Amino acid sequence: MRTISDISRHGVGDSTFLIVGVNHRTGPQLLRERLQGDAGDVLRLLGRCRESGISQAMAVVTCDRCEVWCVTPDAATTQATLTGLLAEAGGVTEAEMAPRLHALTDDAALRYAFAVAASLESQIVGEPQVLGQVKELQQLAQHAGMSGPELDRILEAAYQAAKRVRNDTGIAGQSVSMAACAVSVLRRMHGDVSNLNGLLIGDGDMAELIFEQVSATGMKRWTMVHPQERRAKAWAERNYTHWRPFGELPAAFAASDLVVSALDLGAELVSVEMVKAALKARKRRPIFLIDSGVPGDMDARIADLDDAFLYTLDDLERLAMAGRQHRASEAEEAWRIVNQAVASFRRQLTEQEAAPVIADLHRHFEQHRAEVLAQPGIDATEATRRLVNRLLHNPSLALKAAAPGKDLEAALRRLFGLNNKEDKT
């Protein structure tokens, strides 16, 4: 990533699009955690930006990054200001913060912002929630009075690029984490998950992760069982779920559409017979089982039963690996779309910046045309000769004074559609 001293100037109108902050590549996790916060923290950071003279800015604060995206007439000064504000937010000195920050401007910043919206700059490429996070953060900036036409135009172009990436590539087509793969399998098996029942056997890390991922999709009915009932009760109270004594495991099994075990006791606590009885009680409605114990908590022969779908961590990891390979293969096309979108946006800016000059040229030429035609007794040939002389008089003087070189000559030939010297016969 380039710093302010490295970049060329291709700004947004008379201003520069600037991004300053840390992300999962440039800042250690501990620093990013210090910079994380809720909506109130984001609004406070934006308030400090406003107090420091920055008029258009949004704070992009997610688990992967803490950055300020802004439009400014003075990129170097604003970068220094933001270094201080981010150090303040992170509770460190500017000297500690500055080496961790990345700073991007103009086309590099545009490409980065478009890629963030398209989830190409995330730790897990292609995750769909990133675009929603950016939109929510834009709304916070608007609420804080920190939005503006230049910044909003950039964000709208970024959203359009992200939409194209989503629609024209398969970058989000497969899950890439084990927990996300579990959610994907559950949905394929049962469809809508909101009315399903989940059972956790133990409170290991993987069970916790799957619980969080599946709950986020709308599945809210969970039961916890544990050989140590006080742990089951404490976990259930902490997560607002139910718990049952460990002796009621068979009954809890029969009531569950998803069962996740995470005890790591080295014993097969879930037998083939228990699952057969549960399936009979369920009238063969399928059960999705995830054995995250190492060694396993479930009898491997359960996988041979009809309507019982047993996955181990190795199974989920294979699915995740396939998903990561799929997303990597789609990323090249996604980056092509982003680069194309940046170039298109830059062309739009250039065309709009040129529009006032073109309008002035039209008025200037029309004024001379009217003056020549108003002269008495002039025919068409003489009128056009005088008009050409008038229009070329000032440009000719300016060109002679400038002593044009090859670059200027080539630009003029392109501007007026003249043949190159070597093209003449």
Catalytically active residues are 63
CA distance 312 to 321: 14
Q: Please identify which residue in the block is written with the tokens 């999962």.
A: 24
CB 60 within 8 A of CB 134: yes
Helix-strand-coil split of the chain, %, nearest 5: 60, 15, 30
CA distance 35 to 257: 39
| HSE value, Cβ hemisphere, 13 Å, CA-based, for 273 | 2
Q: Please identify which residue in the block is written with the tokens 């399928």.
A: 286
Reading the block at residue 293, the tokens are 């114990």
- At 53 the three-state DSSP class reads coil
CA distance 21 to 69: 9
Q: Please identify which residue in the block is written with the tokens 């135009």.
A: 153
Q: What angle do CA 108, 111, 112 make, to 5 degrees?
A: 85
